[in-house]
Amino acid sequence: MTQQACIIHQLHFELGSTVLFDQLDFQLNRHQLTGLIGRNGQGKSQLLQCLLTQKNITGQVAWNCAYAFLPQQHQLTNQTIAQVLQIEDTLKALKRIECGQATFEDYDLAEGNWNLPQYWQEQLSKAGLTTAFDFPVTALSEGQKTKLALCRLFNLKDHYLLLDEPSNHLDASGRDWLISSLLAHPMGALVASHDRQLLNQMQHILALDNFGLHAHSGNYAHYKQITDTLEAALELSIDQHKRELKQQTIKQHETLMKQQKKQSTAKKKRNSGSQAKVILDFKQNKADQQLGQITRQQHRQLEFQKEALRDKTSRLEVIKAQQFEFSSTQPQSGELVRLNGVLHPYHCNLTFHFALLAHEKLHLCGENGAGKSTLLHLIARLHTSDDSLFFKRARCLYLDQRFSFLDSRYSAVENLRLLNSEYDEVFWRNKLGQLRLRGDSTLRPIAQLSGGEQLKVALTALAYPAESIDLLLLDEPENYLDIVSRELLACAIRDFKGAVILVSHDVDFVRQCGIHQEIHMSEVIKA
């Protein structure tokens, strides 16, 4: 018998003046992995927050077990690994016992935790993390921070997990570890994600769109098969509807023309005096009544058909792709960037050796913590120069993992106008609208937007820079984006005329970008 972890009934939530959820009814089952999918800005992260806090909602959220949460942008700063895992005091107690300096409180802390260091070293090692408990979290990459946060949650065996984009920043081995850890977690989880590999491990899919929340049994591949069939059927239905509407419009016009012809004939007869005017007036009134009745009926039918067509079209828009492309640039030739023994900013015994030609599109790969983001940041910071250590003559735009060039205090439109004042508010709102970022979303501070919405603002800025660019530096740009938007971005990268250095752990995304040249960080960093 299925055991319910949480029952949600008639959930209603408003964000500002916008109704985000209304009358949502669903349940989360123990021992089951459920995927939560939907377009960027649809409210997936907000739904997780509603389940977590139950604040400012109407309806019922009833938990039958303990639960834990991984936010999309977790904050692990100014701490050690031991502090994040909440084992620092116990480790210190075990150390004092080992040194013969223990107190009674130390023995209380150590009770039942004698194997704690070995246990956590094993868990950290499985995740591909350092086993040094005093290692500072600030020195970890974003992917390593995600692994550490997940390690802490997977240790809560009796907790149902709410995970918001848990595969973001994870390398290939990290994704494999995440999947195996999820499958082994006894209580189950609700996973908000756009990662197809991860979603295909789910046993249940909840799809969130403008029309509500829809439950599907099976994994994402099964869901996609069903929705592709429905989309194709909807497109055919819309085409048929348009043809029927056109025919009905023609029929209405023909009816009107026939009636006008009859009226013209009757008028001629009345003027000629061939029939009594009383009889002709009676016939005219009856004809006018019939025409009015027919016209009103046809008008109602036409309006009904138009409304039905608008409904079908709006449903299709929910699942159709948006528009996005990078502005074209005048391609250069020759070498754009060269690093020849530039010191690593965090490891003085390591140096970077790297060169990039115009037109090259490189996939920079390597494990979490290998230095990929560091290299991109270094290239972005370098001034245009030519010396023995480095050379750069590329005008570049750098998209880091936290969209640092956006000011969280300002709205999307305000940020874009600050970055490029050549275009007005109407232009920017139109471009954001093409990525389905509309209405209040464009006017709220960036900090209040979802990760996917923030990324769309950042990408819009990159697409319309203040000056033409030769080089895109993209650090995991697919993170936070919904599946359709990922495909759209991949096409834009593929069609970009300049050079690209792309960091990504999504093999499908890299292939869609048209990037076939791969450089591993082991080839770039030398002792």
Q: What is the rounded end-to-end Cα distance, in angstroms, of the chain? A: 59
DSSP 58: E
CA distance 295 to 298: 5
Query: Mapping DSSP to helix (H, G, I), strand (E, B) and coil, where does residue 361 land?
Result: strand
Closest C-alpha to 255, from 285, 298, 212: 298
Query: What is residue 33's predicted lDDT score, i.e. its pLDDT?
Result: 97
Per CATH, the number for 335-526 is: 3.40.50.300
Residues near 186 by beta carbon (within 8 Å), at least 6 away in sequence:
31, 157, 158
Closest C-alpha to 151, from 86, 218, 240: 86
pTM, to two decimals: 0.70
pLDDT in tens, the chain (527 residues): 568 999 999 999 987 777 888 999 999 999 999 999 988 878 899 999 999 999 889 999 999 999 999 998 777 776 899 999 999 999 999 999 988 888 889 889 888 899 999 999 999 999 999 999 999 998 888 899 999 999 999 999 999 999 999 998 898 899 999 999 999 999 999 999 989 899 999 999 999 987 789 999 999 999 988 888 877 776 777 777 777 777 777 776 677 677 666 666 655 555 555 555 555 555 556 655 655 565 566 556 556 565 655 665 555 554 454 567 777 666 677 888 888 888 877 777 888 898 888 888 999 998 888 889 989 998 888 776 666 678 888 788 888 888 888 998 999 999 999 989 999 999 999 888 887 787 778 888 988 888 888 888 988 888 888 788 888 999 999 888 888 788 888 888 988 888 999 999 888 899 999 887 899 998 988 87
Query: What is residue 116's predicted lDDT score, i.e. its pLDDT?
Result: 93
Asked if residue 26 lies in contact with residue 206, where contact means CB atoms within 8 angstroms, the answer is yes
Query: What is residue 384's predicted lDDT score, i.e. its pLDDT?
Result: 63
CA distance 440 to 448: 11
* 515, two tokens: 């990037």
CA distance 88 to 260: 91
Query: What is residue 319's predicted lDDT score, i.e. its pLDDT?
Result: 47
Write the class of the CATH domain 1-74+140-218.
Answer: alpha beta
Query: What is residue 198's predicted lDDT score, i.e. its pLDDT?
Result: 94
Closest C-alpha to 173, from 199, 208, 144: 144
30, HSE (Cβ side, Cα atoms, 13 Å)? 15
Query: What is residue 292's predicted lDDT score, i.e. its pLDDT?
Result: 58
- Taking residue 375's Cβ as centre, other Cβ atoms within 10 Å add up to 25
Query: What is residue 389's predicted lDDT score, i.e. its pLDDT?
Result: 78
Q: Per DSSP, what are the bridge partners of residue 352?
A: 342, 525
The answer to whether the 1-74+140-218 and 335-526 domains have the same CATH topology is yes
For the chain, the structural domain boundaries read 1-74+140-218, 77-139, 239-319, 335-526
Where helices occur in 140-276 by DSSP H, the ranges are: 142-154, 172-184, 196-199, 220-272
